[in-house]
Amino acid sequence: MKKYLLLATAFLLPALASAQLRGTVYHDADRNGLRNVSEKGLAGISVSDGKNVVKTSPDGSFELPANPQARFVTVTTPSGYRPGDAHYIRIEPGREKYDFGLVRTGYTGAFEFVQIADTETPTPKEWLDNLKAYVAANPTAFIMHTGDICYKPGQEFHAANVRTRHMGVPMYYIIGNHDLLGGDYGEQHYENLFGPVWYSFEAGNVHFLALPMLGGDHAPSYNKKQVLEWIKNDLAQTDPDKKVIIFDHDLWFQGDDVVIRAGGDSIDMKKHNLVGYIYGHWHSQYVKEVDGVKTYCTSTPDKGGIDHSPACFRVFSIDAEGNISDKTRARYTNIPGTLTAALPAQHDTLVAVNGTIPVRVNAYRTVSPATSVRVSLIENGKKGRAVSLTPQTDWSWGGMLAVGNRKGVQEMVTEANFADGTRLVEHRSFVLTDTPAAVTVGGDWGNLGGNASHSGVAEGQAPYAPRYVWSQNAGGNIYMASPVVGDGKVFIATIDDDNLEKCRVIAYDAATGKELWQFKTGNSVKNTLVYGDGLVLACDAAMQLYALDADSGEPRWTKQLNPYVLPENLHGLAIADGVVYAGQGGYFTALNTKDGSVIWKNEAWGGGEGTQSTTTVGEGVALVSAHWNGLFAHDIKDGKLLWKKQDSKIRFRDGSPTIYDGLVYLASRDELFLINPQSGDILKSAVQPGITFEGACAPVVTPKTVYVATADNGVVAFDRLTFKPVWTYATRPALFYSVPYYQDFQNSVETSPVLVGNTLVFGASDGWLYGVDAETGRFLWKRNLGAPIFSSPAVSGDALYVADFSGNIYCFKINR
């Protein structure tokens, strides 16, 4: 959880290590925790008291100088070993020896480890079973928890249930801001349970530095300068050829270098082979490269991230040289196993081209990756030749299935095999026909909901299940970057929060699905991109804004809006009248779409977390959100701040406002608001008991009704005049958590609905695309895409476009 931090203050503690500390590091061959005569000492191992660092002698012995501030002796466990019991021993008056028995492991070359962050729970949840099962099925060198175990109950739960003896692999901890508690000093309770708050260890060709949070709910006894002194001493005893990876609860670097500075002293970590900095704190899934070093913020395994990141733990893959490899990946938690043939879907109607049809399958299990997916036609009760599909993202598999000249109803069986030996099977019937489906693309759909006011109303009718026309896989996951349509093309953007390799903006022919071009962005595009004036514009998580030629994909101009690392940019774009509104917080900016020149920049306010909302423009104002801060209205001409709303309901900004008939409609927390866009006066509001609006949704408003997606009740329709509920359409439970702090399987919808005629169309976190009667809420149709849908629909002519988290984008024909 992100909080403002107390400055760390150092103070003197009772003298503990007023004499020299002695001991031995040895190979505990029989793993009994006691040194036998035959068990040899280990030479050249670093041992520390938190300030001084020494190497063991040829016989494994060591001697540390007197240090009255020391509370622990720690051993830097070398590559090929793990701690027999713990990597630390508390210093006790009268104790004569501090002996460490180390146990051999096989992790001397390439290896993998797991990071979890910000669990903040005192009770067992599914993620813990997932984690145990994952490390049992997949070779794992260790698990690192990067802090916010959270308060006394959370720390005591972890100390009793999530240690090395429970997990089966070494379990390490970092102190977070909510782990600094009241007492003689902030880290006292943490130390009693988990030991020292900074230390080092090794695996493969990597030297790991575990560093502390510098402040939090209570002041610690240490400061940054003390930690820096130890880092220098530790690295002075480290093989200079080893790569270095830092663990911490929060990132210490905010600029464009990786220099640690404190009290007039500094150390350039780039000169010490730093290859990665791994942290949590922000409840976000975010990677950024700083001076050639990748920094990794990992979301929480037990709940949705503050930025709506999926609940996950991250598996880091380290190659033989000690570098973080491109096999590093998030494992989304709480998914026992899902297998869906999304194309052909159940009862789908397809036309074979050259005797083949496309197949798209989504398969996922938290505890074990899929190793193969195969499909076969069933004829006369027997399976035909199986076709192996190709993995396209962490969820999606695709390929072509030969169907020859078959017509009519067909049956297909899909089989997925997972690394732990699990096998899932699904049967599907579909129809082959000679009559192809084609769409006529209409006008532009250039913003979320079609325009900068997010109206979300499209022409046409969709009372019946739309027919499949074409599909593509974008090669990366698609989050809240909804499709936009312009000049006969449809545009989409992808994320890659592990390796930054699959971040793209991609253009397709809107009628045929032919890929026209790809453009690699520097970071993930996590929210609304826009189209206008022959340009497609996208802003990535590092707040780099791109204006790409819609025909060629070549950049017309780019603009770096924020030079710092955090917070990541999630705020979606809006475009209107030749102006694009981009960025968030103190970097929210209005720019001329033609050349990127700045028209105005927000100078009236700043702060807030990464905000999964989209700018709304209309009635002469630009409405922009800042999560944990408020809703702000700027004059579109000069950027003047007209008003702000920062009360307890509106400051938690997940969804986007919608402007309808000159007024602002906003759903926030558990309340609906009607706001005057010029003055900010709240004209009407109504609390909705039992409903929460913490999903990333913009309402759809009509003369009679306000339609809002919710975090826990699917989609709800309200009377526009009274704000009283009219109907509720409950979806299935979400496939994984994404709504902030949600830990149980609610009926979450994180997309903005679209009204097509009298049908409300929306995708849900359960992986289904729905069509619902807008007047009554009665079910009309649905289609299972097999992966959460965070991308809102787009409509142009009789074409409906939707994308899912697995990276698949679909075109369906409506108006039947």
pLDDT in tens, 469-486: 999 999 999 999 999 999
Same domain, 479 and 626: yes
Helix (H/G/I), strand (E/B), else coil: 401: strand
For residue 761, what are the β-bridge partners? 754, 771
Indicate whether 683 belongs to any domain: yes
Q: Which of 312, 332, 352 is the last residue of a domain?
A: 332
* Same structural domain, 80 and 144: no
| Both tokens assigned to 182 | 């009241």
d(CA 394, CA 450): 30
Report yes or no: 488 and 510 within 8 Å, Cβ to Cβ. yes
Whole-number CA gyration radius for the chain: 28
- pLDDT, position 190: 98
Q: Determine the Cα–Cα distance for residues 688 and 458; give it in Å rounded to an integer.
A: 28
Asked, for residue 372, whether it belongs to a domain, the answer is yes
Residues 411 and 521 reside in one and the same domain = no
pLDDT of residue 141: 97
From 332, 361, 387, give the residue that closes a domain: 332
238 Cβ contact partners less than 8 Å away, ≥ 6 residues apart: 46, 76, 200, 207, 244, 272
Same domain for 642 and 688, yes or no, is yes
Instruction: Give the list of residues 6+ apart from residue 457 with CB closer than 8 angstroms, or none.
Output: 449, 450, 700, 702, 754, 755
CATH number at residue 43: 2.60.40.10
Of 78, 105, 132, the domain-final residue: 105
Angle at 594 between CA 591 and CA 599, to 5 degrees: 25
CATH number at residue 499: 2.130.10.10
CA atoms in the 13 A half-sphere facing the CB of 747: 13
CA distance 300 to 741: 9
**Residue 609 carries which side chain, given as an amino acid letter?**
E
Phi, psi of 585 (to 5 degrees): 60, -135
Cβ-proximal residues to 565 (8 Å cutoff; 6+ apart), any chain: 251, 253, 254, 255, 288, 290, 295, 542
Q: What is the reported pLDDT for 2?
A: 43
Same domain flag for 23 and 87 = yes
Helices and strands counted in the chain (H then E): 5, 64
Same domain (yes/no): 58, 137: no
Residue 16 pLDDT: 53
Cα–Cα distance, 293 to 210 (Å, whole number): 17
Distance CA 609, CA 585 (A): 9
pLDDT confidence of residue 85: 86
Q: Note whether 152 and 274 are same-domain residues.
A: yes
420 in any annotated domain: yes
Q: Is residue 438 part of a domain?
A: no
pLDDT of residue 5: 39
What span, in angstroms and rounded, lies between the C-alpha atoms of 538 and 543? 10
- With contact defined as beta carbons under 8 Å apart, do 705 and 717 qualify? yes
User: Is position 619 within any domain?
Assistant: yes
Name the nearest CA neighbour of 353 among 413, 432, 431, 430.
432
Q: Dump pLDDT digits (tens) for 229-252.
A: 999 999 999 999 999 999 999 999
Residues 458 and 400 reside in one and the same domain: no
Q: Both 428 and 576 in a single domain?
A: no
- 84 closest CA partner among 27, 122, 141, 19: 27
CB 627, CB 650: distance < 8 Å: no
| Phi and psi torsions of 776, nearest 5° | -110, -15
Q: What is the pLDDT of residue 4?
A: 37
The CATH number of whichever domain residue 323 belongs to comes to 3.60.21.10
Q: Is residue 2 part of a domain?
A: no
Say how far apart CA 103 and CA 596 lie, in whole Å.
Answer: 59
Can you give the residue range of the structural domain that contains 352?
A: 338-432
Per-residue confidence (pLDDT) for residue 7, from 0 to 100? 38
- 495 shares its domain with 415: no
Q: How much helix, strand and coil, in percent to the nearest 5, is found in the chain?
A: 5, 40, 55
State whether 514 and 406 are in the same domain.
Answer: no
Q: Give me the residues of the chain with pLDDT under 70, please.
A: 1-18, 816
CA count, 13 A, side-chain hemisphere, 540:
28
Q: Note whether residue 8 is domain-resident.
A: no
* Nearest-5° Cα angle at 292, 289 to 293: 65
Tell whether 442 is covered by a domain. no
Residue 110 CA to residue 128 CA, distance in Å, equals 25
E strand spans, 514-597: 515-520, 530-532, 535-539, 544-549, 555-560, 574-576, 579-582, 589-592
317 and 351 in a single domain? The answer is no
Task: Give me the number of domains the chain comprises.
Answer: 4
